[in-house]
Amino acid sequence: MKKISYIVVFLCLFSLKIVRVRAVEDYLSLDAKSAILIDNASGKILYEKNIDEKLPMASMTKIMSMLLIMEQIDEGNLKYTDKVLISKNASGMGGSQVFLQAGEEYKVEDLLKCIAVSSANDAVVAMAEKVSGSVDAFVDSMNKKAQELGLINTHFANPHGLDNENHYSTARDMSMLARELLKYEDILRFTSIYEDYLTKPDGSQIWLVNTNRLVRFYDGVDGLKTGFTTNSGYCLTATAKKNNMRLISVVMNASSADERSKDTSTLLTFGFNSYKNNIIYDKEKSLGTIPIARGKLEKIDVYLKENATVLLKVAEKKENYSFNIKANKIVAPLKSNSIVGKAEIIDNEGNIINEIDLIIRKDIEKASFFDYLKRNLKVITGGK
């Protein structure tokens, strides 16, 4: 009798284990043909499904277009207030649009909002022409940037995402591209808008509604870009932030807009429920000092450009980590917030788990003749 009871207990426990595993599998059962979930800070993959399968990405293409625009703004070559003249080519674009007319002028900020919120093909073509002089030149820049980022399974044929056999990407590549765009945090000012208006030159207004419904209906979602064509199916690269953790999800070739949103919600909920992001060093705290050549100061404090974080499963405990400062040779003068090197984050086993840029927090002025004289006198007098 005892043997029988032990067997029954064992079978009961075994069956409970099977039920638990199946429940998790059911929870992550996705409609999309391809999907990925990553942690933005580390790039670590938290979930994957056919992530290297080449598929049309439709208007998720505009993530790359927005990246090139944001780079130009960051480098000072383009301003939000710059005017853009709408060409006949831009006004004649098909697909999703905001009905721009040839000869009209809009600010860069207005067109970027139309791209991010309404996925406007006419707006993105107008910006491509503004940035590169022509759509073809802009597409060349898109492919060049893809190579720089290591997007080996991606190729662009246009800046908007309308179907073309030479226009494709993968879930992995799209997540990497989204992570690059998120380095320019100001883009979230546009992608997080659910509804707004575009005021046309004649005073009339076009109502803009975000094609990413999760911006309104999922707490923490503030981007990034949807996509749909007959060939691509329903796609969405999304990002959300909760509890100091930002996640990026990509779903490609879902069967409907509802399934696209459902799959994305499933991935994000899984990520936030299963993982936590621990800050192991605050970017506001000096990491140490480095020497300065020909500067008014002889050394300066350096800071992490962003918080150093480590991704853990919810039940895991934080370990101890160390930092290895790899500073460049710093020669004055230099502006505040300049990148002056990198900091390697090293775990208990000596593995480098991440690298973060090092910056300075104040301007470094060039030393004058009198600065050098003071230093020499200090040496002669023994520091008195």
**195-247 tens-digit pLDDT:** 999 999 999 999 999 999 999 999 999 999 999 999 999 999 999 999 889 99
Residue type, 80: Y
pLDDT in tens, 52-105: 999 999 999 999 999 999 999 999 999 999 999 999 999 998 889 999 999 999
User: In sequence order, which residues have a C-beta less than 8 Å from that of residue 379 and are 6 or more positions away?
Assistant: none
Mean pLDDT over the full length of the chain: 90
Q: Which residues of the chain are in CATH 2.60.410.10 domains?
A: 282-380
Which homologous superfamily is 34-275 in?
Answer: DD-peptidase/beta-lactamase superfamily (3.40.710.10)
Asked whether residue 15 carries a pLDDT value surpassing 90, the answer given is no
Q: Of 350, 358, 354, whose CA–CA distance to 328 is shortest?
A: 358
By three-state DSSP, how is residue 331 classified? strand
Contact 338, 360 (CB under 8 A): yes
Q: Where are the alpha helices (DSSP H) in the chain?
A: 2-27, 62-74, 88-91, 108-118, 121-132, 135-148, 171-181, 188-191, 214-217, 257-274, 369-380
Q: Which one from 49, 62, 145, 225 is the annotated catalytic residue?
A: 62
**Is 119 one of the annotated active-site residues of the chain?**
yes
Q: What mean pLDDT do residues 30-40 have?
A: 97
Q: Which one from 59, 118, 169, 261 is the annotated catalytic residue?
A: 59
Q: Which one from 65, 87, 118, 119 is the annotated catalytic residue?
A: 119
The pairing of beta strand 288-293 with beta strand 330-331: parallel
By three-state DSSP, how is residue 369 classified? helix
Which homologous superfamily is 282-380 in?
Answer: D-Ala-D-Ala carboxypeptidase, C-terminal domain (2.60.410.10)
Q: Which residues of the chain are in CATH 3.40.710.10 domains?
A: 34-275
Alpha carbon 183 to chain centroid, angstroms: 6
Confidence of residue 377 (pLDDT cuts 50, 70, 90): confident
Confidence of residue 382 (pLDDT cuts 50, 70, 90): low
User: In sequence order, which residues have a C-beta less than 8 Å from that of residue 382 and are 6 or more positions away?
Assistant: none
Residue 371's pLDDT is 73
Residue 379's pLDDT is 62
- Return phi, psi of residue 335, to 5°: -85, 155
Element (H, E) at 197: strand 195-199
